[in-house]
Amino acid sequence: MEPLHVLKEREPQIHRKGEAPFSIECNKDSLAGAVSQRACVFCGSRVVLYPIADALHLVHGPIGCAVYTWDIRGALSSGPELHRLSFSTDLQEIDVIFGGEKKLYKALIELIDRHQPKAAFVYSTCIVGLIGDDMEAVCKQVEKEKSIPVLPVMSEGFKGNKRAGYEAACSAMTRLVGTGDISGISKHSINILGDFNLAGEIWLIREYFNRIGVEVVANITGDGRIEDIKRSHGAALNVVQCSGATMDLATMMKKRFGIPNIRVSYFGVEDMAEALYEVARFFKDDEMLEKARELVRMELSTLLPELQKYKTALAGKKAAIYVGGAFKAFSLVKAFRLIGMKVVMVGSQTGTREDYEELEEITDEGTIIIDDANPLELSAIIREKDVDIFVGGVKERPIAYKLGVAFCDHNHERKEMLAGFHGMLNFAREVYGSVMSPVWQFVPRRVSEEKE
Amino acid sequence: MEPLHVLKEREPQIHRKGEAPFSIECNKDSLAGAVSQRACVFCGSRVVLYPIADALHLVHGPIGCAVYTWDIRGALSSGPELHRLSFSTDLQEIDVIFGGEKKLYKALIELIDRHQPKAAFVYSTCIVGLIGDDMEAVCKQVEKEKSIPVLPVMSEGFKGNKRAGYEAACSAMTRLVGTGDISGISKHSINILGDFNLAGEIWLIREYFNRIGVEVVANITGDGRIEDIKRSHGAALNVVQCSGATMDLATMMKKRFGIPNIRVSYFGVEDMAEALYEVARFFKDDEMLEKARELVRMELSTLLPELQKYKTALAGKKAAIYVGGAFKAFSLVKAFRLIGMKVVMVGSQTGTREDYEELEEITDEGTIIIDDANPLELSAIIREKDVDIFVGGVKERPIAYKLGVAFCDHNHERKEMLAGFHGMLNFAREVYGSVMSPVWQFVPRRVSEEKE
Amino acid sequence: MSKMPNYVSTTNACKLCKPLGASLAFRGIEGAVPFLHGSQGCATYMRRYIISHFNEPIDIASSSLGEKHAVYGGSANLKMGLKNVTAKYKPQLIGVATTCLTETIGDDVKMILAEYKDEFHTGIDDPLIISVSTPSYSGTHMEGFNAALKGVVEQLANGGEQNETINILPGFISAADLRYLKELLQDFGIAATVLPDYSETLDGEALNEYPLIPKGGTPLSSIRNMGRAKLTIECGRTFSGETAGSQLLKLFTVPLTRVGLPIGIRETDRFMDVVSEAAGIEIPEKYRSARGRLVDAMVDGHKYIFGKRAVVYGEEDLVVGLTAFLAEIGIKPVLCASGGKSGNMKESIANVLEGLGCEMPEVHENVDFYDIEERASDLDLDLLVGHSKGYSFARRQNIPLIRVGFPIHDRIGGQRLLHIGYHGAQQLFDTITNTIIAKKQDDSDVGYSYM
Amino acid sequence: MSKMPNYVSTTNACKLCKPLGASLAFRGIEGAVPFLHGSQGCATYMRRYIISHFNEPIDIASSSLGEKHAVYGGSANLKMGLKNVTAKYKPQLIGVATTCLTETIGDDVKMILAEYKDEFHTGIDDPLIISVSTPSYSGTHMEGFNAALKGVVEQLANGGEQNETINILPGFISAADLRYLKELLQDFGIAATVLPDYSETLDGEALNEYPLIPKGGTPLSSIRNMGRAKLTIECGRTFSGETAGSQLLKLFTVPLTRVGLPIGIRETDRFMDVVSEAAGIEIPEKYRSARGRLVDAMVDGHKYIFGKRAVVYGEEDLVVGLTAFLAEIGIKPVLCASGGKSGNMKESIANVLEGLGCEMPEVHENVDFYDIEERASDLDLDLLVGHSKGYSFARRQNIPLIRVGFPIHDRIGGQRLLHIGYHGAQQLFDTITNTIIAKKQDDSDVGYSYM
């Protein structure tokens, strides 16, 4: 087995559980030339705000930033689909020289007239800051003229990593929160933060909450609507999923409106159940808690027998996880355990020290924990650990596939609902459908094994 | 130009108008080894009866005869589509040795029980006569048991040509005619014989007749129904299209029920108009005649301007016609004339001497008139006459195409409605769409011309 | 295998008749004219059927028997037909196939042909005349195809000193398959006789003159030498009885290696190994890299198709090969059907599925589309794989039909479909996977633009 | 050409950004690593976009500039990045493309690279470093692609005594196209340098080890020799300004022949004639017969497609080639559109349509899908021809989309689509014709089984 190709500078960001006391560096800038799997600030903002379906999302910059984020995600809407279009000011050399404010203004007016959105988000890109466009001023002007919120998102790509983009997005939404009418909202009410309604997941989660008697005020941002976000300060609780994407908004809402928040995950049965229980516990409502227990019992009674088939087939297979936010990784570790599989690697693009500590805790001996990995590292680990399936996003897919390893997309492009109890079944099915494919017997890795 | 490859025995079947006094041999058996475009008796019967949509059509014989006639035609039904299925007794060696009567009986019972048809036609094939199956007896037996007409069609392939098959088909239908209730039929009523409702043509023709106040009793056989045929002797007139396919039935109906008949064609504007006028004249009804004139005027007033575009483009182009029955050829000659094209060859598989005489009359000097042609003759003529479009059936298509000549399918497989006024427009459009295709500039014939 | 349940009648047969297969095989010999001894209709129907697939002229001569011949025998017409074909086409070979008519009236074709040669052969430019017995009532077009090849070999091949060529009897594959096969053999640098070879005769270029006989086809001189080849590779797992390959072994002791049609990875691997060994060289880079890319593509696409359920129908050997391939890529063949009845399909399928972890599908020989539809109605299908004749079934079920084999009557270019080798598997894989993706995309309310 | 009407905003752009094209071009050089000097997001987004088409890993390094670099310049990060890439990938070449960020902050890349070489080059195994200026705000991915090639040639090629090779600059074609092109050149027996060649690097085999740099690509030694070639064939009719081909002419007096992308019959004829002349041999039989079969097929299928109305969109040269082909087969291109703005598309289209009797379509440069849809709404369309991004438009119009070019994000095997040569035209023809047939068949109430 060839050794793991690791640049010296990268070594502190890789930890093997059991080999040494826990230590990992993280939240560093990507190393130049290392072919990081990370994106940029702009990407972080787009990820968070993208699913707001009745808003105009205008990318102020050259064409690339807009075109690479055109309709790329599985975030569904139950109504308007404005988010699926790709709007750009398509800055040209002349704009870079003379400034793009006028073009931005005209583009905004044109697009708002054309689509009548409920609000507009305007994303700044790398060069916008550099050429000195006063986006704030243009947005204010258009807001006044068109009487809808026009919100600058300060997402210049180079000003940090994806996480900074989350903040910029939250900060833009902050301007909306608190501007709507909150009359008639139930005392048992929440906002769902950090679910992006991939493959319709938020619909399922909302249904669960409805079943235990909780009103959902705003989806933030899966299947999101401007009006809901405006009145989201009327909710009693913010239920936040995912490591960091929307945490800043929750923090702000706590500060400004005193709304407490809890962090949950909807992936895997334990986390999903715990999410419902926690909400019920928050409301200190026994009936609600009993309803939640009943819901979990019911769902599990159909789910677990169905899972058995997959569990039998998958027992002992090995998984590697590399995702954007570490919080999802926790759930995945547990989900794999539920279907009898071993997690041999887990990593994230943007985990914090606390995240990695928790991963250290819940994983088995020998598991590799990695921050901001790159293709060479990932591929070396795949081979070293003889991984059966890799969980990641589209950028990781070809690495797995090239080496003959099954793959599960657990990122924003996926078309399968993986959240909730039903999602757990889909997850098992999807893992099964990839791991058990007969194609692996033809890949060099397996062929050479057989020859050994 | 290489000479026409003609076998000596074939010479009397080819006439060049103007070169000699008219003389042509026809209605001969195909010459062995000559690769005739003709089919067989069975084929003739299938062609005529095929469109009767609520009857079971069972081919008694080895599988080939059934499978080659499975859903091959554009004959549409407004209701049941039993005719689109291919039923066979699929005779095996053992049946050939011990006889196929029992198998036929069982197959009939099985299929009638399964499909509840209004009648069953049972087609004999080459070997059925040879092995001595008494089809008549089996049919009678089943007819008694199942109380629907079960009609043997004596269509052994070798017992003549397609024309003999027409007779066999008509003879089978003869048993139906006269068995239905004819009360309530208008005195201005007709049967439509010899239209097979390709691409829905009979619906158009019926509409024309309705518009001039004529009731259509039975379609024979396009979109045909057993019950209609049973009461078709209640019609005042048989309107027969096509040279021979259903003429025998008309003749019989004249003999048995005294129903007169007229021969018409629905192709081309003159013939279509004349068909309506003739029917009106037959009924000696001035109002009807005026309606017919009005109809023709109306249709032409929209048709002719639309035709102009095609006429302009196609003026002077040359056409060759080779069709099954000569009657259709008359109409085609006129139709081509209407769109400004020259017919340089016309022939048929089954024309009679009278047919060819008429063709001689209506064609221009130099036109080649041919009976029962084969690929070599056709291809030589195409080249000699520098034909722009060939009109024929699927068997002729590759000959035209191989040599780089446009083609119009005017046979039973076509999907375009070519009858009536609307059909004339379609015809022009189709000829245009083939003749004007840019692909011809790439075929060797045109490339070598350009080089000359 | 018998039908299930045992219907007497046949509805929408999943087979064609024997003389059609023989005609196609004869069309694959250089300078040959297929000739049916029977009534005119047979030749005309078959021409029409073949034309609708190949979009090429195919002249099949006929002895055009009439009523009197059924009584007195077809001898005179057969002779006259041969004479006329000889005069007009100047063929190198006439392949005479009988029909149910002439078999039933008991024409002794071998004797008639002997008489004909006595009477008419001049010794100069006389065509060879081959005959084969192909009554429609005793087998399908595949039996006719194989019988013709066997007849050709028996009646033409000679023994003698072994040479360095190999014989390839590739079975009933497409014109594109044949072209691919010949290029492959060339890339191996091995001299081979591929019989039949209708890659040009039934998929020719646009021409300026109508060809009496289209160019191309297996040369007669090569066929004559087949008895001296060092090896015969015969593709097909479901043969019953003697074949061209077994006759070359029996008559001339040419060693025979039987492999399946080279469809999918493993069947192609087997075929390539045999060819490689015969050629004495490694598999060329072009094919090794195509295999590597194929495996890479199979991985890339595997999730879109895993567990999809397919019905496969058509000629038995084609069904066997396709079934193997579907199993290799993770599609479940749930029903494999053919109108043929070699009796060997089930075992052949079991063999090619071995080690793939694929459940054994239902396998039915001697069935028609009525049987197939009835059987399939409770199988929860995702796709059909077979020729055009399954269209109405696919339409009723609202599932896609992957068109392969013969006939393709509702698309153009059926003759250009590539099925064999790694390249063929690649095309099949892309077609199947993209068809499934397209259906998912189009059926979705969302209309994803990434899949 | 300007937009019609002149919208300020862009919706659903019909172009990609400049560094993406440069990255693809660099990926087609042996041992090369593409490197973007800019923020991390650019490289990651482009990788993701390219991956979704090729289903292959593509490592694009980045200098990962952060906020402080925007102020103080990206020099240090660029150098560190180059060092790291050199250490980890051991590349033969690093292709540095700038981004709008680094162009706007005014990094002098040439100078930085000179410094870097001074500082870090050891003289042993140092990679070559090529740089190209590709700010997203000044052109599309095609400009980036061409700029990279020009940069490579300018910075690598040497002059000297003329040799017998030719240079082929095929433009932005698929991996399958490149393989086909190389096989074609081999069949002509001509030594040629095809630049770029990502046929293996972006369409590789399944592997056992993750490749630091995938094998394949145009060898550096060949690129160095491009200045000594006897001819450059450069495919593309819409170039504006200097290109790799024109620079080879200017710097090394290598004769330049410009032809369109060899798509369709006439453009392929022109290409084949040029190659044939350069090779000094006739066009090989394989291609002549493919052409003959293509013409034959075009005749067979012409009636199904005559007069159908198509919109063609994508890169300008691809649009020109496809438009020519559609006109050749009797389909009316009614609207030809591109996000590019060379200013040469209309004239190029007029040129390739000459003599085909085809009305001049509307031609629009610098448009997006909003413009295209708006313009097309009253054009009565039958099909779209272009990349995947037209899907939602096609779906709304309920007309089929013929997927060609880049990107194909909603099917597998986009890299395996063959567009060029007679074989590519054959595949396009079959695909287009069968798509139209399928729609007619499926839309029909009857469900004809013969078409």
For C103-129, the pLDDT digits (tens) are 999 999 999 999 999 998 878 889 999
**Which candidate in B10, B35, B95 is best for mutational testing of the C interface (most C CBs within 10 A)?**
B35
B92 touching C, CB under 8 A? Answer: yes
Residue B127 domain-assigned (yes or no) = yes
* Residues A409, A327 within the same domain: yes
A430 touching C, CB under 8 A? Answer: yes
* Residues C323, C258 within the same domain: no
Query: Is residue B49 over pLDDT 50?
Result: yes
Q: What pLDDT was estimated at residue B160? A: 87
Residue C13 domain-assigned (yes or no) = no
> pLDDT > 90: what percent of chain D?
93
Q: What pLDDT was estimated at residue B5? A: 60
Query: Is residue A55 over pLDDT 60?
Result: yes
**Which candidate in D269, D295, D303, D329 is best for mutational testing of the B interface (most B CBs within 10 A)?**
D303
**Bridge-partner residues for C218, per DSSP?**
C29
* Residues A274, A368 within the same domain: no
In this structure, are residues A392 and A411 in contact, taking their beta carbons and an 8 Å threshold? Answer: yes
* Residues B280, B206 within the same domain: yes
Chains A and B touch (3+ CB pairs under 8 A): no
Residues of chain D positioned with their CB less than 8 A from the CB of B433? 303, 306-307
Phi-psi region of A312 (alpha: psi -120 to 50; beta: other; left: phi over 0): alpha
pLDDT tier at A4, thresholds 50, 70, 90: low
Residues of chain D positioned with their CB less than 8 A from the CB of C293? 203-205
Residue C5 domain-assigned (yes or no) = no
Q: What pLDDT was estimated at residue A447? A: 85
Residue C123 domain-assigned (yes or no) = yes
Query: Is residue A31 over pLDDT 80?
Result: no
Higher-confidence position of A395 and C315: C315
B38 touching C, CB under 8 A? Answer: yes
Lowest mean pLDDT among A226-240, B360-374, C100-114, C318-332: B360-374
Residue-range definition of the domain harbouring residue A51: 41-174
* Residues C299, C389 within the same domain: yes
> pLDDT > 70: what percent of chain D?
99
* Residues B169, B200 within the same domain: no
pLDDT tier at A2, thresholds 50, 70, 90: very low
CB contact under 8 A, D51 and A395: yes
Task: Give the pLDDT confidence of D47-89 residue by residue, as tens digits.
Answer: 999 999 999 999 999 999 998 888 889 999 999 999 999 998 9
Q: Which of residues 109-128 of A touch D (CB under 8 A)?
A: 110-111, 125-127
CB contact under 8 A, A434 and C451: no
Residue-range definition of the domain harbouring residue D83: 18-139
A7 touching D, CB under 8 A? Answer: yes
What is the rounded average pLDDT for all residues in chain B?
92
Residue B322 domain-assigned (yes or no) = yes
Query: Is residue B188 over pLDDT 90?
Result: yes
* Residues A169, A267 within the same domain: no
We report the CATH number of the domain holding residue C393 as 3.40.50.1980
Residue A425 domain-assigned (yes or no) = no
Residue C422 domain-assigned (yes or no) = yes
Query: Is residue B1 over pLDDT 60?
Result: no
Of the three residues D232, D247, D279, the one that is the final residue of a domain is D279
Of C296, C357, C446, nearest to A438 by CB-CB distance is C357
Q: What pLDDT was estimated at residue B36? A: 74
CB contact under 8 A, C298 and A404: no
Q: What pLDDT was estimated at residue C6? A: 84
Least CA distance to C329: which residue of chain A? Answer: A439
* Residues D91, D173 within the same domain: no
* Residues C274, C297 within the same domain: no
We report the CATH number of the domain holding residue A120 as 3.40.50.1980
Task: Give the pLDDT confidence of A93-125 residue by residue, as tens digits.
Answer: 999 999 999 999 999 999 999 999 999 999 999
> pLDDT > 70: what percent of chain A?
97
Residues of chain C positioned with their CB less than 8 A from the CB of A402? 296
Q: What pLDDT was estimated at residue B19? A: 78
* Residues D119, D60 within the same domain: yes
pLDDT tier at B2, thresholds 50, 70, 90: very low
Least CA distance to C290: which residue of chain D? Answer: D205
pLDDT tier at D2, thresholds 50, 70, 90: very low
CB contact under 8 A, D299 and B443: yes
**Which candidate in D266, D269, D302 is best for mutational testing of the B interface (most B CBs within 10 A)?**
D302
Query: Is residue C1 over pLDDT 60?
Result: no
Distance CA C142, CA C155 (A): 20
Task: Give the pLDDT confidence of A189-200 residue by residue, as tens digits.
Answer: 999 999 999 999
Residues of chain C positioned with their CB less than 8 A from the CB of A438? 327-330, 356-358
- Give me the total of CB pairs closer than 8 Å, taking one residue from chain C and one from chain D: 116
| Segment A210-218 mean pLDDT | 98
| Segment B44-50 mean pLDDT | 95
* Residues D193, D49 within the same domain: no
**Which candidate in A442, A443, A446, A450 is best for mutational testing of the C interface (most C CBs within 10 A)?**
A442
DSSP-assigned letter for residue C408: -
Residues of chain C positioned with their CB less than 8 A from the CB of A53? none
CB contact under 8 A, D303 and B413: no
Residues of chain B positioned with their CB less than 8 A from the CB of D331? none
Of residues C354, C308, C360, the one with CA closest to residue C330: C308
Q: What pLDDT was estimated at residue A5? A: 59
Residue D439 domain-assigned (yes or no) = yes
* Residues D218, D317 within the same domain: no
In this structure, are residues D338 and D139 in contact, taking their beta carbons and an 8 Å threshold? Answer: no
Q: What pLDDT was estimated at residue B410? A: 86
Rounded to the nearest 10 degrees, the angle between the axes of helix B162-174 and helix B41-49 is 50
> What are chain B's partners, defined as 3 or more CB pairs within 8 angstroms?
C, D
Distance CA D364, CA D382 (A): 19
Of residues A193, A224, A191, A208, the one with CA closest to residue A420: A208
pLDDT tier at A243, thresholds 50, 70, 90: low
Of D298, D307, D328, nearest to B433 by CB-CB distance is D307
Query: Is residue B38 over pLDDT 80?
Result: no
Of the three residues D253, D279, D305, the one that is the final residue of a domain is D279
> pLDDT > 70: what percent of chain C?
99
Lowest mean pLDDT among A50-54, C134-138, C358-362, D210-214: D210-214
* Residues B77, B162 within the same domain: yes
* Residues C273, C386 within the same domain: no
What is the rounded average pLDDT for all residues in chain C?
95
Q: Which two tokens stand for residue A257?
A: 């409106």
> What are chain A's partners, defined as 3 or more CB pairs within 8 angstroms?
C, D
* Residues B207, B155 within the same domain: no
* Residues D132, D201 within the same domain: no
| Segment B35-51 mean pLDDT | 89
pLDDT tier at D212, thresholds 50, 70, 90: confident
* Residues A255, A290 within the same domain: yes
Residue A443 domain-assigned (yes or no) = no
- The yes/no answer to whether this complex scores an ipTM above 0.90 is yes
- Give me the total of CB pairs closer than 8 Å, taking one residue from chain B and one from chain D: 55
Chains A and C touch (3+ CB pairs under 8 A): yes
**Which candidate in D389, D412, D418, D435 is best for mutational testing of the C interface (most C CBs within 10 A)?**
D412
Task: Give the pLDDT confidence of D302-335 residue by residue, as tens digits.
Answer: 999 999 999 999 999 999 999 999 999 999 999 9
pLDDT tier at A33, thresholds 50, 70, 90: confident
* Residues C178, C123 within the same domain: no
* Residues D403, D346 within the same domain: yes
Query: Is residue D32 over pLDDT 60?
Result: yes
**Which candidate in B10, B31, B73, B90 is best for mutational testing of the C interface (most C CBs within 10 A)?**
B90
Q: What pLDDT was estimated at residue D211? A: 86
* Residues A262, A195 within the same domain: yes
Q: Which of residues 264-293 of A touch D (CB under 8 A)?
A: none
A36 touching D, CB under 8 A? Answer: yes
* Residues B281, B194 within the same domain: yes
In this structure, are residues B7 and C84 in contact, taking their beta carbons and an 8 Å threshold? Answer: yes
Residue A452 domain-assigned (yes or no) = no
Of A39, A92, A93, nearest to D40 by CB-CB distance is A39
pLDDT tier at B243, thresholds 50, 70, 90: low
Question: How many angstroms separate the CA of residue D417 from the nearest CA in chain A?
Answer: 19
Residue A377 domain-assigned (yes or no) = yes
B91 touching C, CB under 8 A? Answer: yes
pLDDT tier at C272, thresholds 50, 70, 90: very high
| Segment B206-212 mean pLDDT | 98
* Residues A265, A196 within the same domain: yes
Lowest mean pLDDT among B17-26, B391-400, C305-314: B17-26
Task: Give the pLDDT confidence of C61-101 residue by residue, as tens digits.
Answer: 999 999 888 888 999 999 999 999 999 899 999 999 999 99
> What are chain C's partners, defined as 3 or more CB pairs within 8 angstroms?
A, B, D
Residue B427 domain-assigned (yes or no) = no
Least CA distance to C141: which residue of chain B? Answer: B64
Question: Distance between the two ends of chain D, CA-based, in angstroms?
Answer: 42
Of B7, B108, B383, nearest to C87 by CB-CB distance is B7
* Residues D192, D303 within the same domain: no
Query: Is residue D3 over pLDDT 60?
Result: no
In this structure, are residues B63 and C16 in contact, taking their beta carbons and an 8 Å threshold? Answer: yes
Structural domains of chain B, count: 3
Of A71, A402, A442, nearest to C265 by CB-CB distance is A442
Task: Give the pLDDT confidence of C361-418 residue by residue, as tens digits.
Answer: 999 999 999 999 999 988 999 999 999 999 999 999 999 999 999 999 999 999 999 9
Of the three residues D279, D295, D314, the one that is the final residue of a domain is D279
Query: Is residue B56 over pLDDT 50?
Result: yes
List, edge to edge, every strand of the sheet that includes D61-62.
Answer: D61-62, D32-37, D93-98, D128-132
> What are chain D's partners, defined as 3 or more CB pairs within 8 angstroms?
A, B, C
A50 touching C, CB under 8 A? Answer: no
Query: Is residue D123 over pLDDT 90?
Result: no
Distance CA B59, CA B275 (A): 35
Q: What pLDDT was estimated at residue A9? A: 76
* Residues A50, A164 within the same domain: yes
Structural domains of chain D, count: 3
